[in-house]
């Protein structure tokens, strides 16, 4: 199988930093994506990693370790509007597999 | 925002009836996908298309068929709907490029309820 595991729920405080982890099976790996999905809306693309290391894009960063089958999404300076589900997705050859998503609640 | 629309946005139907969902894009992207999203399962690929009349099965294709007669339209058909097909259905598009990033852009979703 190609299980993609991420925590179901997380809570954090406005202005803080939160890290959402994702682990996946490494065989056939061909890229990792993070998407944000607000309740009742479509997923929107946040970041892409195919090589080891950190990709930074404003308040959001994503890290990949291919040998460990591990990624994280780092959200800094949390805002209330960051309350959403965050989906980790892995491309295996030409097939895309999604994790079940992490629902993040940002509290004042 | 990528130009992707889905119709209908909401549908309630009865078990055993045929249902067709439509995805329409104005981006001229080659790849189109149909996913379903259920609590605890995340997004699961049903079928995808890599060109007109070129389609392939995804992870959960049983009970579904697709057609793509034009670049801009990708149809998903449930020949005989069952209650287990109650879900939110998302269409997505992508266009491969040399960077091979191939992020997917998602439509607004269709909420289907099968009674």
Residue B98, pLDDT score: 55
pLDDT for the residue numbered B77: 98
Whether a cis peptide bond, with omega within 30° of 0, leads into B8 is yes
The count of other CB atoms within 10 Å of the CB of residue B56 is 13
Cα separation of B98 and A86, whole Å?
27
* Cβ separation B102–A89 shorter than 8 A: no
Pick from B43, B105, B107: CB nearest A87: B43
**What's the average model confidence in pLDDT over A16-24?**
98
Distance from C-alpha of B91 to C-alpha of B24, rounded to nearest angstrom: 9
pLDDT (tens digit, 9 = 90+) per residue, B54-103?
999 998 999 999 999 999 999 999 999 999 999 999 999 998 765 555 78
The DSSP code sequence of A4-34 is EE--SEEEEETT--EEEEEEE--TTEEEEEE
Interface check for A69 against chain B (CB to CB < 8 A): the answer is no
pLDDT for residue B40: 82
Strand A84-92 and strand A102-107: the pairing is: antiparallel
User: What pLDDT is attached to residue A9?
Assistant: 97
pLDDT tens digit sequence for B24-54: 999 999 999 999 999 888 899 999 999 999 9
Option in A45, A87, A101 nearest B103 (CB): A45
- Picking from B38, B43, B108 by the largest number of A CB atoms within 10 A of its own CB, the best residue to mutate is B43
φ, ψ (nearest 5 deg) of residue A52: -65, 145
Cα–Cα distance list, B78 to A62, B21, B49 (Å): 38, 9, 17
The predicted pLDDT at position B100 comes to 55
User: What gap in Å lies between CA B41 and CA B88, rounded to an integer?
Assistant: 12
What was the pLDDT predicted at B60? Answer: 94
CA distance B43 to chain A (A): 6
CB A7 within 8 A of CB A100: no
Which pLDDT tens digit goes with each residue over A27-83? 999 899 999 999 999 999 999 999 999 999 999 999 999 999 999 999 999 999 999
Which two structure tokens, joined as six digits, stand for A25? Answer: 């099976």
Q: Specify the range with the lowest mean pLDDT, choosing from A89-93, A94-98, B17-21.
A: A94-98
The length of chain B in residues reads: 115
Taking CA atoms, what residue in B is nearest to A36?
B106
Q: Are A108 and A53 in contact (CB under 8 A)?
A: no
The pLDDT-based confidence of B115 (bands split at 50, 70, 90) is very high
d(CA B25, CA A62): 29
User: Is the Cβ pair A50, B100 closer than 8 Å?
Assistant: yes
């Amino acid at each position: 199988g190609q299980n993609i595991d991420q925590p179901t729920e997380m809570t954090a405080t406005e202005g803080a930093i939160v890290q959402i982890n994702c682990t996946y099976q490494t065989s056939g790996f061909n890229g990792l994506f993070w998407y944000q999905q607000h309740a009742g809306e479509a997923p929107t693309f946040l970041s892409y990693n195919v090589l080891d290391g950190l990709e930074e894009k404003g308040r959001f960063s994503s890290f990949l370790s291919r040998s460990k089958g591990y990624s994280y999404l780092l959200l800094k300076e949390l805002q209330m509007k960051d309350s959403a589900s965050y989906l980790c997705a892995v491309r295996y050859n030409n097939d895309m597999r999604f994790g079940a998503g992490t629902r993040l609640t940002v509290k004042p | 925002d990528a130009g992707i629309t889905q119709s209908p946005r909401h549908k309630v139907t009865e078990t055993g009836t045929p249902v067709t969902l439509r995805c329409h894009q104005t981006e001229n992207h080659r790849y189109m996908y149909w996913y379903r999203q259920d609590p605890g399962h995340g997004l699961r690929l049903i079928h995808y298309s890599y060109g007109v009349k070129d389609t392939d099965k995804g992870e959960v294709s049983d009970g579904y068929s697709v057609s793509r007669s034009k670049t801009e339209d990708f149809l998903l058909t449930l020949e005989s709907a069952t209650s287990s097909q109650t879900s939110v259905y998302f269409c997505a598009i992508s266009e491969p490029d040399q960077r091979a990033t191939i992020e997917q852009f998602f439509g607004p979703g269709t909420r289907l309820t099968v009674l």
